[in-house]
């Protein structure tokens, strides 16, 4: 299944062997305090052994940050682009850390010494890698968006729960949103609420992460395993705009700026509303966008509006297509009060009135979750709810009309066209 598994040392890579030697080698599990030079005074039992899958931009950031920690030992990295892999191995070497390189993530999951994996591959790979990591008993830090389509998220959330591993999504907005959760939970704004996520506060990167419609096939670079990069996604001829960052502009791999930035933006919004595991909707979604939608490239949209079962409305306004919002539209508005994008409130003493109300429960961060085995704020179930909302918005764009969603069955009601995007077939031999 997929490309041949390969384990690559930096020395082998530089010598031009490309990891052929050692392809069948079984990694030797050596205690972290023996291999590492960065454990300092941390007890061996407190050192967490970690690996990074996908060492492009975000994966390299994770690697650099992990290498600075005395309580973490990085033992492996993986990437299907050998240039990325070579760079990561060099970064580890310069930090004084012996690190193994792989071109197939499954070898990392086979290692008994790895406790935690960071998944920083393109989103069309997230579901399979999270599922396989959970099945291997690894705790997971996954970059956003959680999945490429809705059904994948349900499988990931259920698998994480079944295997009892810790899962965290790479967003942090909810950790600074406790004051707004407190305000909404207090009832001082009243209900129903209208949340407006417009271009005066949010950058949706609509044009930045739009796909191109003029791609011509190009030769695959010798350092890239294009077949493995595609993985479960449909086969398309190679073009550099399809991968390495700009992949976000193609439906096969992501959902444009909406799923990229929306993962950061919707996570705290759902937390503020109390819509985490018990999300009551959305039940209806409409979008204003270019139509017909391009079948391959993500293109431009202006507004996406969600209606929830309790009457809550969430408006997303890009400001990059269609009619922009005027600057004075409230960020949060209820029948008894408003909050504006700059933090002003109406009435002006709204936040002071909160003094007599209880604070929300503290959120568990990823590192605390690893130690306490309590799921963190951005856990798998919550992350599935967030990505589902984003995917529904993109589906409304693709079908060009209002869609009606059943949040319990996780299906569109009486809409075969929209439901085709809920569970998209994988390219053989990959499967959920």
Q: Three-state secondary structure along the chain?
A: CCCCCCEECHHHHHCCCCCCCCCCCCCCCCCHHHHCCCCCCCCHHHCEEEEEECCCHHHHHHHHHHHCCCCEEEEEEECCEHHHHHHHHHHHHHCCCCCEEECCHHHHHCCCCCCEEEECCCHHHHHHHHHHHHHCCCEEEECCCCCCCHHHHHHHHHHHHHHCCCEEECCCHHHHCHHHHHHHHHCCCCCCCEEEECCCCCCCCCCCCCCCCCCCCCCCCCCECHHHHHCCCCCCCCCHHHCCCHHHHECCCCCHHHHHHHHHHHHHHHHHHCCCCCCCCCCEEEEEECCCCCCCECCCEEEEEEECCCCCEEEEECCCCCCCCCCCCCCEEECCEEECCCCCEECCCCCHHHHHCCCCCCCCCHHHHHHHCCCCCCCHHHHHHHHHHHHHHHHHHHHCCCEEEECCCCEECCCHHHHCCCCCCCCCCCCC
Residue 432 lies inside a defined structural domain of this protein: no
Question: Residue 45: its pLDDT value, please?
Answer: 74
Question: Residue 181: its pLDDT value, please?
Answer: 96
Question: Residue 46: its pLDDT value, please?
Answer: 86
| Residues 250 and 333 both lie in one domain | yes
Looking up residue 405, the CATH number of its domain turns out to be 3.30.360
Residue 149 lies inside a defined structural domain of this protein: no
Question: Residue 281: its pLDDT value, please?
Answer: 84
Question: Residue 18: its pLDDT value, please?
Answer: 35
Contact 152, 125 (CB under 8 A): no
Q: pLDDT by residue for the chain (432 residues), tens digit each?
A: 444 444 554 444 433 333 322 333 333 344 444 444 444 567 777 899 999 999 999 999 999 999 999 999 999 999 999 999 999 999 999 999 999 999 999 999 999 999 999 999 999 999 999 999 999 999 999 999 999 999 999 999 999 999 999 999 999 889 889 999 999 999 999 999 999 999 999 999 999 999 999 999 999 999 999 999 999 999 999 999 999 999 999 999 999 999 999 999 999 999 999 998 677 789 999 999 999 999 999 999 999 999 999 999 999 999 999 999 999 999 999 999 999 999 999 999 999 999 999 999 999 999 999 999 999 999 999 999 999 999 999 999 999 999 999 999 999 999 999 999 999 999 999 999
| Residues 241 and 389 both lie in one domain | yes
Question: Residue 10: its pLDDT value, please?
Answer: 45
CB crowding 67-85: b at 16 or more within 10 Å, else e:
bebeebbbbbbbbbbbebb
Other CB atoms within 10 A of residue 195 CB:
23
| Residues 224 and 369 both lie in one domain | yes
| Residues 332 and 195 both lie in one domain | yes
Residues facing residue 102 across a β-bridge:
7, 78
Residue 38 lies inside a defined structural domain of this protein: yes
| Residues 106 and 211 both lie in one domain | no
Contact 147, 160 (CB under 8 A): no
| Residues 114 and 198 both lie in one domain | no
Residue 160 lies inside a defined structural domain of this protein: no
Residue 169 lies inside a defined structural domain of this protein: no
Residue 158 lies inside a defined structural domain of this protein: no
How many domains does the chain divide into? 2
Chosen domain end from 74, 101, 120 = 120
Residue 163 lies inside a defined structural domain of this protein: no
| Residues 248 and 364 both lie in one domain | yes
| Residues 183 and 72 both lie in one domain | no
Closest CA to 279 of 248, 306, 240: 306
Question: Residue 41: its pLDDT value, please?
Answer: 62
| Residues 112 and 194 both lie in one domain | no
Contact 45, 105 (CB under 8 A): no
| Residues 61 and 179 both lie in one domain | no
Domain that holds residue 312: 174-419
pTM value? 0.90
Chosen domain end from 120, 152, 187 = 120
Chosen domain end from 57, 85, 120 = 120
Residue 166 lies inside a defined structural domain of this protein: no
| Residues 88 and 203 both lie in one domain | no
| Residues 201 and 326 both lie in one domain | yes
């Amino acid at each position: 299944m997929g490309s041949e598994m390969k384990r690559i040392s930096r020395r082998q890579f530089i010598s031009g062997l490309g990891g052929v030697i050692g392809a069948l080698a079984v990694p030797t599990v050596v205690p972290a305090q023996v291999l590492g030079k960065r454990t300092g005074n941390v007890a061996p039992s407190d050192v967490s052994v970690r690996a990074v899958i996908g060492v492009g931009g975000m994966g390299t950031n994770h690697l650099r940050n992990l290498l600075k920690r005395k309580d973490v030992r990085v033992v492996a990295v993986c990437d299907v682009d050998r240039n990325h892999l070579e760079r990561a191995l060099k970064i580890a070497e310069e930090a004084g850390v012996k690190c193994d390189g792989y071109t197939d993530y499954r070898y990392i999951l086979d290692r008994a010494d790895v406790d935690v994996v960071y998944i920083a591959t393109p989103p069309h790979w997230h579901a399979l890698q999270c599922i396989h990591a959970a099945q291997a008993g690894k705790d997971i830090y996954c970059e956003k968006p959680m999945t490429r389509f809705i059904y994948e998220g349900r499988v990931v959330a259920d698998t994480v729960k079944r295997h009892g591993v810790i899962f965290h999504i790479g967003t942090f907005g909810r950790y600074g949103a406790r004051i707004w959760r407190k305000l909404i939970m207090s009832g001082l704004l009243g209900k129903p609420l209208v949340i407006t996520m417009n271009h005066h506060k949010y950058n949706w990167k609509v044009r930045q992460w739009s796909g191109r419609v003029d791609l011509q096939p190009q030769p695959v670079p010798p350092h890239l395993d294009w077949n493995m990069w595609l993985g479960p996604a449909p086969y398309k001829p190679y073009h550099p705009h399809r991968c390495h960052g700009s992949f976000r502009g193609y439906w096969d791999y992501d959902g444009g700026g909406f799923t990229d930035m929306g993962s950061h933006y919707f996570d705290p919004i759902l937390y503020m509303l109390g819509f985490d595991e018990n999300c009551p909707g959305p039940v209806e979604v409409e979008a204003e966008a270019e139509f017909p939608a391009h079948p391959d490239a993500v293109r431009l949209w202006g507004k996406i509006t969600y209606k929830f079962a309790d009457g809550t409305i969430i408006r997303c306004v890009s400001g990059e297509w269609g009619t922009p919002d005027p600057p004075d539209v409230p960020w949060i508005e209820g029948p008894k009060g408003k909050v504006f994008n700059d933090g002003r409130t109406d009435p002006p003493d709204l936040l002071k009135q909160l003094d007599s109300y209880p604070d929300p429960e503290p959120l568990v961060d990823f590192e605390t979750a690893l130690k306490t085995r309590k799921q963190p704020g951005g856990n798998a179930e919550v992350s599935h709810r967030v990505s589902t909302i984003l995917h529904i918005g993109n589906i409304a764009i693709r079908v060009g009309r209002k869609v009606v969603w059943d949040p319990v069955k996780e299906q569109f009601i009486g809409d075969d066209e929209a439901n085709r995007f809920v569970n998209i077939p994988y390219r053989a031999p990959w499967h959920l």
